Structure 1
C-alpha cells in the first residue's frame, strides 16, 4: 500500500470550506481504482492541514495524480485560495 501526504496551511476561516470541498470530492475518488482511504488532519490554532490518501499500489497513486488528483488540487487552489502544496509519496511498511 502507498500513501500520498500533502501538507499546507489554511486560514482558520477557510478550514470549513476545505472540509466541505473534500467531502464533495470523496465520492468520485472512491470510484478510482486502487483508492483505499483518505484522512484530513487539521490544527485549527496554527492553520496547518495535512491530507493522507491511501492507495493499493504506487501505480494507482501516480495514475490518480496525473488525472483526478491533479484536477482536484487545481480546483481547491482556485476555489479556496490554497496554494498547491508539494506532494510526498510513501510506501506503507507497517499498518496496525
Structure 2
C-alpha cells in the first residue's frame, strides 16, 4: 500500500470551507479513483496547518492520482497561504 501526504496551511477562518470542499468535491473524486483505500484529513484550526493522507493499493494508483493533483488543488484557490507540499511514501507497517 502507498500513501500520498499533502501538507498545507489554510488561511485563518477558512478551515470549515476547506473541509466542505474536501467532503463535497474531493471525496467523490477519490472514491471513483482506482485503488483508493481511505483518507485522513488532520489539522489545527488555530494555526491552519493541515496534513491530508490518502491511501492507495499500488504505487501506480498513487502516481495516477498525483497526475491530477493540479486539477484537484484548484478547488482550494484562495483558501491556502501557499502551495501545498506533496509527498508519496510506501506504507511499511499498519497496525
Provide the TM-score with structure 1 as the length reference.
0.87
The match for 2:94 is 95
The match for 1:38 is 39
Q: 5+ residue gaps in structure 2?
A: none
Q: 5+ residue gaps in structure 1?
A: none
> How far off is 1:28 after superposition?
2.1
* RMSD of aligned Cα (Å): 1.5
Q: Residue 31 and residue 18 in structure 1: after superposition, are their counterparts in 2 closer, same or farther (change >3 A)? A: same
d(CA) in 2 for partners of 1:11, 1:70: 19
> How far off is 1:45 after superposition?
2.1
The match for 2:54 is 53
Larger helix proportion, structure 1 or 2?
1
Q: Residue 75 and residue 3 in structure 1: after superposition, are their counterparts in 2 closer, same or farther (change >3 A)? A: same
| Contact 2:41–2:52 (8 Å) recurs in 1 | yes
Provide the TM-score with structure 2 as the length reference.
0.88
> How far off is 1:82 after superposition?
4.9
d(CA) in 2 for partners of 1:16, 1:27: 18
Deviating runs (4+, > 3 A) in structure 1?
A: none
